[in-house]
Each structure stands twice: as structure tokens, then as C-alpha cells.
Structure 1
Amino acid sequence: MNNRAPAPNRGSSPGRWQPLEVFPQQEAEEFARTVTVTRHAQREYMVAHTVSEATAVAEIRRLVERFLQVGRLARDASGIVRARSPRADGDAAYSFLLDLATRHVLGYSSPGRSWFDDAHVPLSDLRRDLSDRRRRAQEQEQRRAAKELAQQQRQAAHEERMHEQAREAAARRAAALPTPTWPLLPDGYYDQRGNPAPEPARGRPITDEVRIRHVARLPFVVFHSDALNSPFFREVPVEQRCDALYRVLDRLMRAPTRGTVTIDSDAITLTGKKVVMTFSPDCAAVRTLNPPMPGKKQPPMFRTKDWPKVPERHFPT
């Protein structure tokens, strides 16, 4: 019983008191019947209302039973519970301090007038009102949950429609792209000599442009078939495409006035001379070069005279 949980959805009351849920009828009756009224609480009650010891104990038990069921309960940091009269009993509060663990009434306070001097709403009516409030709160919570669920379902349906529209748009764009009529390399990565290569391990992203311009021209950088099969190289034989791609890369990376580098979290983009080339964030692979675009029947094309041959390069053995 001393582990009664705080009341849900009510928050902390001002000061050190944490609100608690009221007791079920049977539990409150049992506690009031078996609780021990300390001499201190008994004297406080007797002095306040000028009653005998027996009357004080009997009235305390009745009030504790009532307050535990329909009153305002709160616990402090030490575990002591304060049971106050319900608001239906008037604005002036009658209050008991209870130790639930040892089942003792520790203290009592009142506005001075005895609770039994006035007429009050019957306990059964208060229990019924409390039950009705809980039922209404539960129904309201169910309506709120249903509304949230409906909103989530509408949002999920909207997102699914948007994804479907995006898929349809992508399919239309793919259908509008020209079918390649030039020889294509098999899907995968290739080293700069034109030999198939494994996909490079992901490295640390490079965010410094000077270092990007240096690393991108190193011999270990590999080329993906998406870049080598670009319509930009449609008249370049497959065995010469790695050399052609490196010419473009080297010229644009070597001269900042010719090629512009843009650094994003998922790619590095190099643009210049009608070329758009993308690298992996660690600059270890060239991913794409001038991918096909719908509606462009004559995309730019690689011409040897525009891209001078790179001096002899030394590949690692």
C-alpha cells in the first residue's frame, strides 16, 4: 500500500507534495478500520472539537475512510501521505497525515469547526461522481487517441501517395531518357587503367577543397560504370574511357578557374566546361558524369582536342 503510484496526468502540486490516486472503497474501509490513531493526532482532534477520546477515534476513522476514497491525497518526499477533505465538503480543508507503511494517523488539522456539524454530500454520491468523471476522462482520452491514430493514418496514406507519385514520375523520366546506342561497360568500378576494381571502402569525408583537388587526381581513385557509360563518352571506345575520364577530371581539378568544387554531406560535385561530375564524400570514387537528362537530344560530347593528354602517370604496383 505504501507504494501507491502518483495520480496520472495531474503533475506535482506546489511545494513538496506529489498527488496520489484515491483508494478503492474496500481498501479505504479496511485501512480506516485497522489504522492506529496516535495520541498526538487524537489530542489534536479532541482539542479542536472538544470531544471524548472514544468519539475522537471513531470520527477520525470515519473521516479517514471518506477522504481516502474521494478526498485530495498527496505524498511528500519522506513517504508521509496527506489526506484532505474533498472540495465538495467546503473550501476549508480538513486534513490528516498518514503513514501508510505502519498504518498510523500521525496528525490532524481543521478550520476549527467540526466536520460533523454540517451537512455533506453522501459518500456514495461522491464515489459515483468520481466514477463519472473518470469515465468521461477515459472517453476523452480514447477520443484523443482515436483522433491521433486517424491523423497518423492520414499522414501515412499521404506519404504513401507522395512516394507512389515520385515512383511514377521517376518511371516517366526513365521512359523519356534516350536508350543508349553506344557500347557500355558492365556495371561496377574500374581502376584508371580500365581494369575491374572492387568498390572502395568508405573513408573519412574530405571537406577541404585544396585536399580534394589533390586527392581526386591520385592513381587509387576508381571510376564507376555510370560515369564511364555517360553519353558524354558516347563516341569514345570503351578501352579509352578511363583515360578520357581522367583527362576531364585532371583538367578541371587542377585549375580552380576551370572547375568549381561543391562539397555536400553525401557527395562532392565538380562542374566546369559543360561537365558535372560527382565523387564519393571521401573522394575515392567518381560516381557519375553528365547523367542522361530527359529532353536533351544532343548532350555535350567528349572531344580529344578539348581535353589535353595528361603527362605519363605512375601507378602503384
Structure 2
Amino acid sequence: MSHQPPPQPGGRPEAWTTTDRFSPEQANALAQKAEITQSARNAYIAAHVVSDATAEQQIRQLLARILQTGRLALKQSGCRARSHKADGEGDDSYTFILDRGCRRVIKYSGPPTSWFDKEIRIPVGDLLAMLDERRRKELEAERRKEHQREAQEQRQEAHEQRMRTQRAEAEARRAAAIPAPAWPLLPPGQAYDGNGQSVPLPSPRRPIRDESTIRRVGRRPYVLFHADALNSPFFRNVAPEKRHEAIRKVVDKLLRAPTKGQVVVGPECITVTGQKVTFTLTPDCAMVRSLNPPRPGNNAPASYRADRWKVPRSKERE
């Protein structure tokens, strides 16, 4: 029997922990060698009105039987051995409390009728056979449940694989529906500054959530432009070396006033929409990520016209 830590003072009462039954050899040897305390012997004598010698003999026989066939549990203070339900009377059972090492019988309790006076007493061998059969059925039930669980996991995995395949096929169809760009493209995956020079992608900074701050910061000269935005179909008629100027005008005009562009702050990006244009900013407004990405079936997307994106000059102070 394994050692368990002592109960914590002031905590909850220690619970019984179920443990395995003894083999016939172990049970018989323990029952014959265990010391029976006088309190346990007196409780048995008072319950069944037998002599001291008879109580000694019956306690050892019944204890050997219960250790083989009954319900055993442990806690730090000792071991509890209850008779099998087939040996008891209704919900009442013959119970022995032993010390932790099972060397002393400390306490006895049970139904008024002695087990040795019962009309029907199942032989130990038959009761053990019943227990073995029950255990076999329990193991079979556990194996069936495990097989069902594995089958369910396999079905779930097959379903998820089908869904992944369907999503990949749908993505391939969408990609096929978008024709390859026929206009010149800047190298993808790069960022460009306000002079059209390639620069490293900016490191993320603290997100900006206030709209007025977004409108002010998003129009500053150091804001970068991703190649995905510069290669947008919106700029298909603009030469690559002039696209940074064109996108600067678009961003400046839509961020200049709420009447021009609507700002929506999301968890992953900031979206600005107006005048048939939608572009996204990084949460820190350091870079324009995309602008009017191509859509399947849109054969005539909007196109940049310089005369529509003139930014009014600020009036000089007198």
C-alpha cells in the first residue's frame, strides 16, 4: 500500500481512496496474523451475541473473505474493508477498520444478523468468479468506448481534412478567377517611402485608436506604402515611379476630413473608405498595407485619375 501525505490541519476531512482487493493468499495470511483489538471484539460480540473465542474465529474468517471480495479503501488513518453487496443486508454491510499497515483490526460494524447465520452464503470462489466476470464486462465496455472515441476522432479528422481541401479548392478557384495583372508591378513584399525608394518593413509600434490622431498621423510624410497597395488595380494606369505620389494624394484626401473618407478601427488594421477607394493602414499608422485589392468578376475596377485627387492648398496667413 502506497504512503500518502498526512491531512492538512484545518482542511477538509480526508476522503477514502479506493484500492485493490487482496489475493486469497494475502487475505488469509493477513486475517490470521492481524491483532484484533478488544473494542472491535466487543463490538462484534455485542452485535451477534457470541463468545469471545467464537468472535475471534468469525472475525478472522469474515475479514479474510471481505479482503478478497469486498470494497477496500484507504486514507492516512487506516484501511476500510466493506463486504460485497451480495454479502450484506440491503445497503448495510459488514465493515472492518484496520490500521494503515493492516496489522490491527480497530473497529467493527455491521447488520444485526451475523453473516454466519444467513441462509444464503455465496462461496468465495463463486463470488470471485462473479467479480472477474463483472470486471471483464467493464473492460470490454471501456474498450468499446475507446474504439468509439477513436472512430469519432478519425471521422472528425476526415471531416476537417475535407473542409481544408474544400477551402483550398475554393481559394484556388478564386485565385484563378482573378486575372494576372497586365500592368507593371513593383517587387512584392517590400515597403516604399514617400520618394518611391524601397525600405525595410516597419517594426510594429503601439496601436492608435483615436480617429483624430489616425487622420493626423496617417498623413505624415514618413508613412510607408506596401507593394500590395502600390500594385493595386487602382494604379494600373500610373507609372510605377509615380505611384508613391498618387497614393500619397489618395491617403491625404481621404484622411483630411470625415466627409471624404470614413475611418473604421479594427483589431488587425485600420480601414479607410471613400470615393470608391478602400485602403488599410497598420494599427500604428506606419504603413498603408493595401488599396482596392482585386476582386473576382470585377472586370472594370476603379482607376486613379489625377484630377479627382487634387489636395487643396492650405491658405497662407496674412
Normalising by structure 1, we get a TM-score of 0.87
Deviations 1:71-104 (A, max 9, x none): 233345x433322221101323211111123622
Equivalent position of 2:41 in the other structure: 42
Q: 1:271 to 1:60 in 2, by over 3 A?
A: same
Matching residue's letter, 1:209: E
Q: Does 1:115 align with 2:106?
A: no
- Where 1:257 maps in the other structure, the secondary structure is coil
The root-mean-square deviation of aligned C-alpha atoms, in Å, is 2.2
Whole-Å separation in 2 of the counterparts to 1:294 and 1:49 = 91
Equivalent position of 2:97 in the other structure: 97
Whole-Å separation in 1 of the counterparts to 2:195 and 2:26 = 85
> Which blocks of at least 5 consecutive residues in structure 1 are unaligned?
5-14, 313-317
Quote the offset at 1:200 in angstroms: 1.4
Whole-Å separation in 1 of the counterparts to 2:269 and 2:29 = 72
Deviations 1:214-242 (A, max 9, x none): 22223332211010000100111111111
Q: Is the 8 A contact 2:77 2:99 kept in 1?
A: yes
Whole-Å separation in 2 of the counterparts to 1:123 and 1:271 = 85
Q: Is the 8 A contact 2:253 2:311 kept in 1?
A: no
Quote the offset at 1:310 in angstroms: 7.3
Identity of matched residues, % = 47
Quote the offset at 1:2 in angstroms: 4.7
Deviates more, 1:170-179 or 1:52-61: 52-61
Q: Is the 8 A contact 1:247 1:310 kept in 2?
A: no
Equivalent position of 1:276 in the other structure: 278
Equivalent position of 2:86 in the other structure: 88
Equivalent positions of 1:57-76 (< 5 A) are: 57-76=56-75
Whole-Å separation in 2 of the counterparts to 1:133 and 1:180 = 72
Equivalent position of 2:155 in the other structure: 154
Equivalent position of 2:106 in the other structure: 106
Q: Does 1:215 align with 2:213?
A: no
Quote the offset at 1:16 in angstroms: 6.1
Q: 1:37 to 1:277 in 2, by over 3 A?
A: same
Normalising by structure 2, we get a TM-score of 0.87
Q: Is the 8 A contact 2:269 2:283 kept in 1?
A: yes
Matching residue's letter, 1:306: R
Q: Is the 8 A contact 1:22 1:70 kept in 2?
A: no
Whole-Å separation in 2 of the counterparts to 1:180 and 1:238 = 13
